C-alpha cells in the first residue's frame, strides 16, 4: 500500500483568491465557501458575498455552469435576467450572470453569479463568486455596486 496525500503533485492545492472589500463588510465562514463576507443590516436584508472553489471535469464549461444556474433559478418567482456575458477581470475570462427575483419572505433580491476556470497541472478548478443584495433598500445604498467592485478586484494565483 502507498499513502496518497492532498496536496501533492497528483492532487494540487486550490488556487488562491482575494478580493478588496470595504471595512463594513465582515468576514463570515460559511459552508462550502473559501471567503464569505456580509454587510449586516438591522432592518433589511444583509448583502453578502460567497466565494467557493471546486474541482470540475475538464469538459465542464461556462455553458455547463449556465445550464446548472438556469435549472436552479427556473422556479424563482418574477425572475428577471438582466446580464449574461463573459468579461475579462485581471486577465481571466469570467462568465457573469445577473438577475433579480422575488423571495416570498424577504422581497426582491438581486444576485450576481460569476465563474472562472483555473487549470493546475491535470486538474481544473472553478471559482464561483456569488453576491446577493435586497433591492428594497438599494435606492439608499450602493451595496450592489460594491459587490460588482469586489468582483472587479478579484485576484487569483
pLDDT digits (tens, 9 = 90+) for 126-149: 999 999 999 876 666 699 999 999
Task: Spell out a b/e string for 18-40, using b for 16 or more CB atoms within 10 Å of the CB, else e.
Answer: ebebeeebeeeeeeebbbbbbbe
Q: What pLDDT does 139 receive?
A: 64
Angle, CA 106 vertex, CA 101 and CA 107 arms, to 5°: 45
Cell numbers standing for residue 103: 423571495
Would you say the C-alpha torsion 54, 55, 56, 58 has a positive or negative sign? positive
Structure confidence by residue, pLDDT tens digits, 80-123: 999 999 999 999 999 999 999 999 999 999 999 999 999 998 89
**Cβ pair 98, 80 in contact under 8 A:** no
> Could you tell me the domains of the chain?
17-156 (3.40.1000.10)
Q: What pLDDT does 57 receive?
A: 96
Structure confidence by residue, pLDDT tens digits, 17-41: 999 999 999 999 999 999 999 999 9
Q: What pLDDT does 11 receive?
A: 85
Mean pLDDT of 1-19: 90
57: Cα within 13 Å, side-chain hemisphere: 5
Q: What pLDDT does 51 receive?
A: 98
pTM: 0.92
Amino acid at each position: 500500500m502507498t499513502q496518497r496525500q492532498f496536496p501533492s503533485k497528483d492532487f494540487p492545492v486550490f488556487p488562491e483568491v482575494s478580493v478588496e472589500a470595504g471595512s463594513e463588510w465582515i468576514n463570515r465562514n460559511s459552508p462550502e465557501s473559501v471567503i464569505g463576507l456580509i454587510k449586516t443590516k438591522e432592518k433589511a436584508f444583509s448583502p453578502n458575498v460567497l466565494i467557493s472553489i471546486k474541482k470540475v471535469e475538464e469538459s465542464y464549461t461556462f455553458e455547463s455552469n449556465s445550464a446548472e444556474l438556469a435549472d436552479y433559478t427556473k422556479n424563482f418567482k418574477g425572475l428577471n435576467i438582466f446580464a449574461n456575458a463573459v468579461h475579462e477581470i485581471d486577465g481571466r475570462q469570467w462568465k457573469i450572470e445577473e438577475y433579480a427575483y422575488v423571495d416570498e419572505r424577504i422581497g426582491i433580491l438581486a444576485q450576481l453569479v460569476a465563474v472562472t476556470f483555473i487549470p493546475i497541472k491535470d486538474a481544473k478548478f472553478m471559482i464561483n463568486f456569488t453576491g446577493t443584495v435586497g433591492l428594497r433598500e438599494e435606492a439608499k445604498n450602493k451595496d450592489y455596486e460594491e459587490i460588482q467592485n469586489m468582483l472587479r478586484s478579484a485576484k487569483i494565483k
